[in-house]
Structure 1
Amino acid sequence: MKRSRALVATLATLSVIGLAGCSQGAPSGGSSPAGDNNASASVATASGKAPAPFDAGEVHVAIVQQSGQGDYFQQYLNGTRKQAEALKMKLDVYDAQGDNAQQASQLDQAIASGVKGIIVRHGFPDTLCPGVNKALDKGIKVVIYDVEIQKCAPRAVQTQQSDAKMASLVLDQMLKDVGSGKPVGYVNVAGIAPLDRRDAVWKDYLQKNSWTQKFKTGKYTNSSATDSAPMVDNALKSNSDVVAVYAPYDELTKATLSALEQNPNLKGKVKVYGADISTADIELMTAPDSPWTATGATDPNAIGAAVTRTLALDLAGQTKEGDKVDFPPILVTSEMLRSKNIKNMDDLRKAEPSLNISQVSSADWIPAVTF
């Protein structure tokens, strides 16, 4: 059975991104990806007087990413760039391309470059905490996104999606659709902070609803969708009785869709529940007979912008050590997308204005970005 055109295009794009990423590693201003990964933004006029250091010209900052591959991360970086530009920040971008040792090295490079503030996005506490504490000791402000480092670096400001809420929204829908006491599959990876938080909710729902987990598989790499698809395919072939699969990261959701395409005997029998949203995801969810039924979502562009505003507040001395900021998600279903004729992220933003979180981590002196 041939894969759907949208899915083939998505996975092909991921392969190209993975190959292009091999040349990255140093700080780069680089061009932003096309499509909704480079969504346009409007910038509010600041009414207040900018505090130091924003009252004295350009402020040098950096973002140190564990990986920039995939729709979510590309949109996130777009939001980061747009808000940094509005705040007159000079932004250096470091992308470790999934290499944890490289991310630690790049964090050291960012510290040595003389930046005033650093966003650390995803990664592992063991490799990041020494560098984060080193930066803080030097007076560099550090804002973390989706890394559990409160114990080893409690002075850093922590930001994250409300992952428990995101998981519960989707799993409530899954329970409504398939009922309790059913065989189900699970595609996830341990050790990634947001995925671990979603995993805790999954385990609770498994027990409460008497679901039988027939398999758990998946791989977190710089090409998670393509690398995980064969693993999910094997799991489905060995467990053809599952009625639903929870894959709480859109690259793993795509891997699940790809695997189901290789199992035509399961067509119409398995519903898929995911996380995250992009135009490519919307196309997959609304494709004819798509098994992707629901996803928990924020607008990654808006999240990237909000984390950048959080760093700005930290630089201005308007946060406290160890502050924590959560960003609320919404539930998006394929039924809702079809009924409202939503084709892309712009359509979704118009239909769901709560995705715009420009009021979060803001102040009257910040020219907040809205997507």
Structure 2
Amino acid sequence: MKQRKRLGAGLALILVLMLALTACGNKNDGANGGNASASGSASPSSSAASSPTASGSSAAASDDVASLKGKNIALLMRLNTGTFSAQYVDGVKKQIEKFGGKVTVITADDKLDVMASNLDAAVTQHYDGILLDHGDDGALSTGVQKALAANIPVVAFDSNISAAGVTNIAQNDQKMAEQTLEALASDAGGKGNIVKIWVAGFPPMESRQIAYKAFQEKYPDIKEIAAFGTADGPQLDAQTKMEAILKQYPEKGSITAVWAAWDEFAKGAANAIKQAGRDEIKVYGIDLSDEDLGMIQDTTSPWVASAAVDPASIGQVQVRYLYQKIHGDTTPATVELDSVYVNRDSLPADKKVTTADLSQYVKGWGASDEGSTDYLTALEQAVAGQ
């Protein structure tokens, strides 16, 4: 009996201790349960809270990039003439390829009515974006409005499109004219006879003409003895007409210099002057390509200097702003690209320079990150990694 009592008491004591421990455990859960629970489930819960955010952000970024791939872009050009245009088109193509898209280049042979028809067709075919090169607001405004109404973004180069929502990329045309004209005046000692090669009807040309008029007022002792220019076969026309002018002014010193408002004009004039052996006449141009640099470096060429923006860089910047628009960003109405002045003295005499390495010799030349964004950089990386 005593043993049974002892056994019963022992069991009772064990039961009491177990209950006490259970109660103590429950108190700890209540008092520290938040911490324990937070601590114990902090990883899962924090992971659950942050993981969706991080993965959501990552997914959003991934979707952002994916949504910009595979775009079909139309590049509508008024004319595609010369090496400057070739390098500009190359810049457009390479940038679109880096973004995983495709581009269709459509030229109009310097016919604005044809360019307007090409624009209408591009809207009908519903390209994802439209690039305009050397267009005209009067001729293209209706087509541009159709594109915008169809939610097709438009970015123009040297076109001066006035429609709200269009970004206009432009070179600082007045500055380029000023840079070359001031150099001409300095080299000529503020006096002499010059030939101007220029053509009306293009927004950049009209801007360059403003600077030219100011130059004439500033330097009354520099006389314009001839002026001409056409966009139809510009290089050959410039060469032919310059040959005729050289015959009109056969005496050395009768012509001091030629100011050419386009590199195609400068090439034609330089060829005529070189063939005539009139090495006293200097040519100052605007725009620059690899071919142009070769002529400027040639000590037997009369073409001594030019002011320009890297043509490939122009194309790249234009494409970036178009993709910003496709992404839904608000972009500026005007983006002006600054120019540099390049003369023979700034280039090496023992090495042929191209636009790819010109930045080594001329400060401010070369690739620009204008228009680039984090998501466009991510897009390039994603396309490159495919």
What TM-score, normalized to structure 1?
0.79
Question: Relative to structure 1, is the Cα distance of residues 202 and 127 closer, same or farther in structure 2, using a 3 angstrom cutoff?
Answer: same
Q: Describe the superposition over 1:42-79 as per-residue Cα deviations: whole angstroms up to 9, x where unpaired.
A: xxxxxx93775853641222110111221011100100
Q: Partner residue of 2:273? A: 260
3-state DSSP class of the match of 2:146? helix
Aligned with residue 229 of structure 2, among 218, 225, 236: 218
Aligned with residue 76 of structure 2, among 50, 61, 64: 64
- Structure exhibiting the larger radius of gyration computed from Cα positions: 2
Q: Partner residue of 1:103? A: 115
Q: Which structure 2 residues correspond to residues 164-203 of structure 1 after superposition, within 5 A?
A: 164-203=174-213
1:235 deviation in Å?
2.6
- Report the Cα distance in structure 2 between the residues aligned to 1:179 and 1:136, rounded to whole angstroms: 52
3-state DSSP class of the match of 2:123? helix
Tell me, yes or no, if structure 1 residue 247 matches structure 2 residue 260: yes
Contact 1:95-1:103 within 8 A present in 2 as well? yes
3-state DSSP class of the match of 1:343? coil
Sequence identity, in percent? 28
Q: Partner residue of 1:39? A: none
Contact 2:270-2:303 within 8 A present in 1 as well? yes
Question: Relative to structure 1, is the Cα distance of residues 54 and 194 closer, same or farther in structure 2, using a 3 angstrom cutoff?
Answer: farther
Q: Describe the superposition over 1:229-285 as per-residue Cα deviations: whole angstroms up to 9, x where unpaired.
A: 212222333245120110021101011112213433xx2221100011122111111
3-state DSSP class of the match of 2:294? helix
1:140 deviation in Å?
1.1
More displaced stretch, 304-313 vs 345-354: 345-354
User: In the comparison of the two structures, how many residue pairs are matched?
Assistant: 316
Bigger RCO (CA 8 Å, 6+ sep): 1
- Report the Cα distance in structure 2 between the residues aligned to 1:57 and 1:86, rounded to whole angstroms: 10
Contact 2:197-2:229 within 8 A present in 1 as well? yes
- Report the Cα distance in structure 2 between the residues aligned to 1:200 and 1:124, rounded to whole angstroms: 18
Question: Relative to structure 1, is the Cα distance of residues 234 and 134 closer, same or farther in structure 2, using a 3 angstrom cutoff?
Answer: same
Contact 2:169-2:334 within 8 A present in 1 as well? yes
Unaligned runs of 5+ in 1: 1-47
Question: Relative to structure 1, is the Cα distance of residues 308 and 341 closer, same or farther in structure 2, using a 3 angstrom cutoff?
Answer: same
3-state DSSP class of the match of 1:55? helix
Aligned with residue 344 of structure 2, among 334, 348, 352: 334
Q: Partner residue of 1:297? A: 308
- Report the Cα distance in structure 2 between the residues aligned to 1:116 and 1:85, rounded to whole angstroms: 14
1:198 deviation in Å?
1.1
Unaligned runs of 5+ in 2: 1-59, 381-386
Q: Describe the superposition over 1:176-200 as per-residue Cα deviations: whole angstroms up to 9, x where unpaired.
A: 2112132111001011111111111
Question: Relative to structure 1, is the Cα distance of residues 234 and 51 closer, same or farther in structure 2, using a 3 angstrom cutoff?
Answer: farther
Q: Describe the superposition over 1:274-314 as per-residue Cα deviations: whole angstroms up to 9, x where unpaired.
A: 01112211111122322111100221111111110011112
- Report the Cα distance in structure 2 between the residues aligned to 1:279 and 1:220, rounded to whole angstroms: 21
- Report the Cα distance in structure 2 between the residues aligned to 1:360 and 1:122, rounded to whole angstroms: 20
Tell me, yes or no, if structure 1 residue 272 matches structure 2 residue 290: no
Letter in 2 for 1:130: T
What TM-score, normalized to structure 2?
0.76
Contact 2:274-2:300 within 8 A present in 1 as well? no
1:212 deviation in Å?
1.0
Contact 1:302-1:355 within 8 A present in 2 as well? no
Q: Partner residue of 1:24? A: none
